[in-house]
Chains A and B, each alone.
Chain A
């Protein structure tokens, strides 16, 4: 396979995966299990919260990225465990954020 053919294949694959993923996403968004961890962003501004998980999210996670629009409940543990390592979260912060994302 020539390099140009490989590049064409990559383009086709990425578009196909994008389309499939968007369809999957649209379907899963309607599912009741999806969480919408955007309470803190409802006003569009980072504000102090009394919820320890929401506060930990604002203080730790938001330094690098926004909250996802939705997150399937069953993967929240995997996501927060990943962030515990990458963002140096303490065990308490991990528990608080997990409760915030999937109460």
Chain B
């Protein structure tokens, strides 16, 4: 029997062909992303994850962009903590979308996109960006079921001046059970208030889950990166049907003394504190009991876009306490798809 190419492969091929036809200087399609090896010791259970996470961006002219991000990873987990390793393999289409700039301050998005509830999922979840290997405990609130949505999204900038920028977006997703495109029927919105000159941002998110039991989720986020300091502060709060919680993260790159390319300047200590509260029992992937977790991390930015992240976390719950150790090695790459045309 003849095997058919997956729909994601067909869509990417079509986008690249269209892009090749409309290619201009600087707007060449690119493949970027990262490869990595992740190790995690969670309460004594060891597992390794080799990961390939490519992204593809294919501009079609200067106002249309076809883009996608995929995740291929193996999971090698030790059986009963001391036994042989068992392996499994996962692949995911995280987004595969068409962006159309319809006005100077408005973009229309159609396809599969990262659910824009709070900001972690959209902005910080890529393995070459995240400061900690583990997602925040509240990540699942507002991003059910897969972190991706299938449908349409409108992103606008209702107001922008030198000192203030207001961003607003709205989205609607249909329910899908297609392999690689699984999504829930959801609608939501997010509003961000940005003070660019202060490098400060606050925002609020709202989403409504529209299949099976209908319920709402609320969220808020805050970013602050002061000038003349390598300090970064980020925080999010989320309130779901069964649980609520928050995380706050501070990172400080030691680049002040001898510059970012020195041995010391490549080190970035990171600290994150998280807390979740269980309001009633239910399946939402958050801890079953109230939890506090302190994460201590150290990131090393090596030359040639290689990064080592390491962290130790201590989790406290009313049922048990435990340690989580994580180490990851990632390499970030950007490769133009076509060769440059020489004149």
Contact = CB atoms under 8 A, between A and B. Distances in A.
A and B part of one assembly: yes
Interface of A: 2-11, 13-15, 17-18, 21-22, 24-26, 29, 33, 38, 41-48, 56, 58-60, 62-66, 68-69, 71-79, 81-82, 84-88, 90-91, 98, 102
A44 B333 CA distance: 22
B37 A14 contact: yes
B216 interface: no
B62 interface: yes
B27 A86 contact: no
Given A10-B72, A45-B228, A62-B225, 16 more contacts: A11-B74, A14-B36, A14-B51, A33-B340, A45-B255, A46-B230, A56-B196, A59-B197, A63-B199, A68-B334, A77-B59, A81-B99, A82-B67, A85-B65, A86-B122, A91-B105
Secondary structure at the B interface, as helix, strand, loop or mixed, is strand
Secondary structure at the A interface, as helix, strand, loop or mixed, is helix
Interface string B67-78: 100001111100
B108 to A, nearest CB: 10
A13 B107 contact: no
B180 interface: no
Contact of B225 (A46, A68, A71, A87): A46
B129 A64 contact: yes
A87 B100 CA distance: 15
A85 B35 contact: no
Interface stretch (B6-14, B83-91, B287-295, B316-324): B83-91
The 4 closest A-B pairs by CB, nearest first: A44-B255, A7-B87, A7-B74, A10-B74
B71 to A, nearest CB: 11
Contacts, number: 190
Contact of B62 (A14, A38, A77, A79): A77
B86 A81 contact: no
Contact of A59 (B167, B199, B336): B199
Contacts of B332: 68
A86 B259 contact: no
Given A10-B72, A44-B253, A44-B256, A3 B28 contact: no
Interface string B228-248: 111000000000000000000
A85 B155 contact: yes
Contact of B73 (A10, A46, A78, A81): A10
Interface in B321-343: 331-336, 340
Contacts of A66: 301
Given A74-B26, A78-B57, A6 B88 contact: yes
